[in-house]
Amino acid sequence: MKHLNIHELVLCGLFIALITTGTFIRIPVGTDVYTLQFMFTLLAGLVLGPRLGAMAVGSYVLLGLLGVPVFAAGGGPAYILQPTFGYLLAFILQAWFCGFCVRLYTDVSYRSLLLANLGGMGIVYTIGIAWFYLASNYVIAAPIPLWTAIFYCGVLQALPDFLLCLAAAAIALRCYRSGIWVEEKNSAQMHKEMYI
């Protein structure tokens, strides 16, 4: 595995800090409260690429599991049993997916960034809602029907998260045009170079 250089380490550390900060920025909308955690995990993948993006988000999750209070409700290994832990796991895959998809394009555009974000949002919803349902019904003994979980964890969250997808695409495009962007070779390029 390739070692990280200083530039990559700094960027990963920056995104770990941004994700942590975003977790505690609370935006009240009616009776609900939303955070910017989702937006910064999207940006980690878009700006850092699949490998570094997943590494940054994975390091954030690992810090929380080790007991550093970076999660919304603290931290520690017991957090795995929380119904919302599935979202944290999904953020890692989401970051990889967004970074990978965007780097398939030869010309990065707002549209390609937004499409990657929407795919990432689908990943987070699928894993997050499934974990929420299973943990609620079989771990903490707080039964909830599947459709109720989909409604409260998916339908009601969709509009705010879509707006964060829009914002993340706009910010990532600015980063791309400003040169604050990590270029990664895709797997086909790396495979080809191994035999040259």
> What is the extent of the structural domain holding 182?
6-194
Residue 39 within a domain: yes
Number of domains in the chain: 1
Read off the pLDDT of residues 117-149 as tens digits, 9 standing for 90 and up. 999 999 999 999 999 999 999 999 889 999 999
Read off the pLDDT of residues 63-108 as tens digits, 9 standing for 90 and up. 999 999 999 888 999 999 999 999 999 999 999 999 999 999 888 9
Residue 179 within a domain: yes
* 123-126 long-range contacts, CB within 8 A, separation 24+: 123/90, 123/93, 123/94, 123/97, 124/38, 124/87, 124/90, 124/91, 124/94, 125/153, 125/154, 125/157, 126/90
Residue 32 within a domain: yes
- CATH number of the domain enclosing 180: 1.10.1760.20
Q: Percentage of the chain with pLDDT > 70?
A: 91
Residue 1 within a domain: no
Residue 183 within a domain: yes
